[in-house]
A and B are shown apart, each in its own frame.
Chain A
Amino acid sequence: MGRFFSDRVETALKYIYYDLRAGRGQEGFQLLQQAAQEGDADACCLLARCLYGPEYTWPGHGFPVDDRAGDELMRRSVLGGSAMGALLSLRSGVMDRQLAQAMPLSLQEAFDTVLDKAEHGEPFCQMLIGNVYFWGDFAAIQGRTREDFDSDDAVQSYLRENYAKCEDWLWRAYRNGVSLAGLNLGNFYRNGKQGLISPRPEQEREVERYGAEKGYPDAMYFYGYTLINEKKDDEGLPLYRRSAELGEPRAFFLAGWSYELGRGVEKDARRAAEYYQQALTAPIQSKISPANRLGALYYEGRGVERDYAKAFQLLKWAYDQDTSSNWGAYYLGACCANGWGTQQDYVQARKFLEMVDWDSRNAFYLLGYLYARGLGGPEDIPKGVEYLQKAGDHAEAKEELRRYKKTFFGKWVRR
Chain B
Amino acid sequence: MKGTAGQKKPAAKRFYLKWPWNIIVYILLVVLLRIFAIPLILLIMWWNKKQQPDGPEEGYCLQRTRGRLIGLIPAALLAVGGGLAIWFFAVAETMPYEAERLKEEMSFGYYLIPVVGAGAILVGLFLAYRSLRDALHPEKSSLAQSIRDQLPYPEEAPPVKELFAMVDQDLKQNGQWCGKLGVGKEWVLGDKVSSISRIRGVFSRVERHTRHAGKRTQVTYLYEIRIVDNRRQQQVTSLKSKQEVEEAMDCLRRRVPAAVFGEYSSREYNDLIYAKDEDQQYAQERAYRNRAAQFEEENRREQEQRAQNQVLTLPDGSVTSRITWDTIHQLLRQPDQAGETAPFQLVPGIPFQGQGYIFSCLACLAGGVTRPTRILLEEYSGTPGVPGRYAWAQDLSAGEAETVLQGWLRGEIPVLDGWTRLERSGRTWRPLDEPDKTPSPLPQPHPDWPWSLTVGGYAGSTADPSWQDIEKELRELIPDPDSFLILEQREPGNPKHCWFIQCAIALQGPDAGRYAVEIGCPSPDGPRLWERMVPDVQEAATYFSAAYQQRRIDPSGFQETEC
A340 pairs with B349, CB closer than 8 A: yes
B176 pairs with A399, CB closer than 8 A: yes
**Binary per-residue interface labels of chain B (325-360) against chain A in the complex, 1 for a CB within 8 Å, 0 otherwise:** 000000000000000000000011111000000001
A402 pairs with B247, CB closer than 8 A: yes
Greatest chain B CB density within 10 A among A313, A346, A398 is at A346
User: Is B478 interfacial (CB-CB < 8 Å)?
Assistant: yes
Q: Considering only CB atoms, which chain A residue lies closest to B477 in the complex?
A: A378
Within 8 A of A (CB), among B342-392: 347-351, 360, 384-385
B320 pairs with A307, CB closer than 8 A: yes
Residues of B contacting A348 in the complex (Cβ-Cβ under 8 angstroms): 384-385
B535 pairs with A345, CB closer than 8 A: yes
**Binary per-residue interface labels of chain A (334-357) against chain B in the complex, 1 for a CB within 8 Å, 0 otherwise:** 000111111111111000000000
Within 8 A of A (CB), among B1-57: 1-3, 5-6
B176 pairs with A402, CB closer than 8 A: yes
User: Is A379 interfacial (CB-CB < 8 Å)?
Assistant: yes
**Binary per-residue interface labels of chain B (498-517) against chain A in the complex, 1 for a CB within 8 Å, 0 otherwise:** 00000001000000011000
B514 pairs with A309, CB closer than 8 A: no
B514 pairs with A347, CB closer than 8 A: yes
User: Is B250 interfacial (CB-CB < 8 Å)?
Assistant: yes
Residues of A contacting B311 in the complex (Cβ-Cβ under 8 angstroms): 308-309, 312, 341-342
Given contacts A339-B350, A342-B349, A347-B514, contact A307 B536 (CB under 8 A): no
A308 pairs with B360, CB closer than 8 A: no
Residues of B contacting A340 in the complex (Cβ-Cβ under 8 angstroms): 308-309, 321, 349
Within 8 A of B (CB), among A294-332: 301, 305-310, 312-313
Given contacts A310-B319, A377-B513, contact A346 B5 (CB under 8 A): yes
Task: State how many angstroms separate the Cβ of B457 from the closest Cβ of chain A.
Answer: 15
Residues of B contacting A376 in the complex (Cβ-Cβ under 8 angstroms): 513, 535-536
B535 pairs with A373, CB closer than 8 A: no
User: Is A374 interfacial (CB-CB < 8 Å)?
Assistant: yes
B254 pairs with A395, CB closer than 8 A: yes
Given contacts A338-B1, A345-B384, A369-B1, contact A378 B537 (CB under 8 A): yes
A343 pairs with B360, CB closer than 8 A: yes
Q: Considering only CB atoms, which chain B residue lies closest to A381 in the complex?
A: B475
A375 pairs with B349, CB closer than 8 A: no
- Residue in A309, A343, A374, A402 whose CB lies within 8 Å of B308: A309
Within 8 A of A (CB), among B270-286: none
Q: Considering only CB atoms, which chain B residue lies closest to A301 in the complex?
A: B305
Report Cα–Cα, A369/B311, bound state, in Å: 25
Number of B residues with CB within 8 Å of any CB on chain A: 40
B5 pairs with A307, CB closer than 8 A: no
Residues of B contacting A342 in the complex (Cβ-Cβ under 8 angstroms): 311, 349
Q: Considering only CB atoms, which chain A residue lies closest to B541 in the complex?
A: A374
Within 8 A of B (CB), among A359-379: 366, 369, 373-379
Residues of A contacting B254 in the complex (Cβ-Cβ under 8 angstroms): 395
Q: Considering only CB atoms, which chain B residue lies closest to A343 in the complex?
A: B384
User: Is B289 interfacial (CB-CB < 8 Å)?
Assistant: no
Task: State how many angstroms separate the Cβ of B80 from the closest Cβ of chain A.
Answer: 36
A374 pairs with B1, CB closer than 8 A: no
Report Cα–Cα, A379/B349, bound state, in Å: 23
B319 pairs with A338, CB closer than 8 A: no
A343 pairs with B385, CB closer than 8 A: yes
User: Is B240 interfacial (CB-CB < 8 Å)?
Assistant: no
Residues of B contacting A308 in the complex (Cβ-Cβ under 8 angstroms): 308, 311, 321
B479 pairs with A378, CB closer than 8 A: yes
Report Cα–Cα, A346/B312, bound state, in Å: 21
Greatest chain A CB density within 10 A among B1, B254, B477 is at B1
A309 pairs with B477, CB closer than 8 A: no
Residues of B contacting A366 in the complex (Cβ-Cβ under 8 angstroms): 1
B537 pairs with A398, CB closer than 8 A: no
Task: State how many angstroms separate the Cβ of B194 from the closest Cβ of chain A.
Answer: 20
Q: Considering only CB atoms, which chain A residue lies closest to B483 in the complex?
A: A378
Residues of A contacting B298 in the complex (Cβ-Cβ under 8 angstroms): none
- Residue in B247, B321, B351 whose CB lies within 8 Å of A307: B321
Report Cα–Cα, A414/B57, bound state, in Å: 20
User: Is B161 interfacial (CB-CB < 8 Å)?
Assistant: no
Residues of A contacting B305 in the complex (Cβ-Cβ under 8 angstroms): 301, 306
Greatest chain B CB density within 10 A among A306, A308, A338, A342 is at A308
B1 pairs with A343, CB closer than 8 A: no
B308 pairs with A344, CB closer than 8 A: no
Residues of A contacting B385 in the complex (Cβ-Cβ under 8 angstroms): 343, 345, 348
Given contacts A310-B319, A339-B349, contact A346 B477 (CB under 8 A): no
Report Cα–Cα, A340/B321, bound state, in Å: 8
Residues of A contacting B535 in the complex (Cβ-Cβ under 8 angstroms): 345-347, 375-376
Report Cα–Cα, A312/B311, bound state, in Å: 10
Q: Considering only CB atoms, which chain B residue lies closest to A335 in the complex?
A: B349
**Binary per-residue interface labels of chain B (477-508) against chain A in the complex, 1 for a CB within 8 Å, 0 otherwise:** 11100000000000000000000000001000
Report Cα–Cα, A313/B321, bound state, in Å: 11
A344 pairs with B349, CB closer than 8 A: yes
User: Is B476 interfacial (CB-CB < 8 Å)?
Assistant: yes
A398 pairs with B308, CB closer than 8 A: no
B513 pairs with A337, CB closer than 8 A: no
Within 8 A of B (CB), among A128-158: none
Given contacts A307-B320, A309-B319, A347-B514, contact A373 B6 (CB under 8 A): yes
Report Cα–Cα, A337/B1, bound state, in Å: 8
Greatest chain A CB density within 10 A among B247, B322, B349 is at B349
**Binary per-residue interface labels of chain A (162-206) against chain B in the complex, 1 for a CB within 8 Å, 0 otherwise:** 000000000000000000000000000000000000000000000
Report Cα–Cα, A379/B541, bound state, in Å: 12
Task: State how many angstroms separate the Cβ of A364 from the closest Cβ of chain B.
Answer: 14
User: Is B538 interfacial (CB-CB < 8 Å)?
Assistant: yes
Residues of B contacting A343 in the complex (Cβ-Cβ under 8 angstroms): 347-351, 360, 384-385
Report Cα–Cα, A305/B321, bound state, in Å: 10
- Residue in B250, B321, B476 whose CB lies within 8 Å of A341: B321
Residues of B contacting A305 in the complex (Cβ-Cβ under 8 angstroms): 322
Report Cα–Cα, A344/B382, bound state, in Å: 11
Report Cα–Cα, A331/B312, bound state, in Å: 19
Report Cα–Cα, A201/B205, bound state, in Å: 73
A309 pairs with B537, CB closer than 8 A: no
Residues of A contacting B250 in the complex (Cβ-Cβ under 8 angstroms): 395, 398
Q: Considering only CB atoms, which chain B residue lies closest to A350 in the complex?
A: B513
Report Cα–Cα, A306/B537, bound state, in Å: 32
- Residue in A312, A339, A377, A398 whose CB lies within 8 Å of B536: A377
Report Cα–Cα, A374/B349, bound state, in Å: 19
Given contacts A341-B308, A395-B250, contact A379 B320 (CB under 8 A): no
Report Cα–Cα, A88/B97, bound state, in Å: 138
Task: State how many angstroms separate the Cβ of A61 from the closest Cβ of chain B.
Answer: 25
Q: Considering only CB atoms, which chain B residue lies closest to A300 in the complex?
A: B305
Greatest chain B CB density within 10 A among A306, A312, A343 is at A343
Residues of B contacting A373 in the complex (Cβ-Cβ under 8 angstroms): 5-6, 536, 538
Task: State how many angstroms separate the Cβ of B471 from the closest Cβ of chain A.
Answer: 10
Task: State how many angstroms separate the Cβ of A380 from the closest Cβ of chain B.
Answer: 9
Residues of A contacting B2 in the complex (Cβ-Cβ under 8 angstroms): 338-339
**Binary per-residue interface labels of chain B (244-261) against chain A in the complex, 1 for a CB within 8 Å, 0 otherwise:** 000100110010000000
Q: Considering only CB atoms, which chain A residue lies closest to B321 in the complex?
A: A309
Task: State how many angstroms separate the Cβ of B424 from the closest Cβ of chain A.
Answer: 17
Lowest 4 CB-CB distances: which A-B pairs, in order? A339-B349, A345-B384, A309-B321, A374-B537
Binding site for A on B (CB under 8 A): 1-3, 5-6, 176-177, 247, 250-251, 254, 305, 308-309, 311-312, 319-322, 347-351, 360, 384-385, 475-479, 505, 513-514, 535-538
16 intermolecular pairs with C-beta atoms under 8 Å apart? A301-B305, A307-B308, A307-B320, A339-B2, A339-B348, A341-B321, A343-B384, A344-B350, A346-B5, A347-B536, A348-B385, A373-B6, A375-B5, A377-B513, A379-B475, A402-B247
Apart from A338-B3, A347-B513, A377-B536, what are 13 other A-B pairs with CB-CB below 8 Å?
Answer: A306-B308, A313-B319, A338-B349, A344-B350, A346-B3, A347-B384, A348-B384, A366-B1, A373-B6, A373-B536, A373-B538, A374-B536, A376-B536
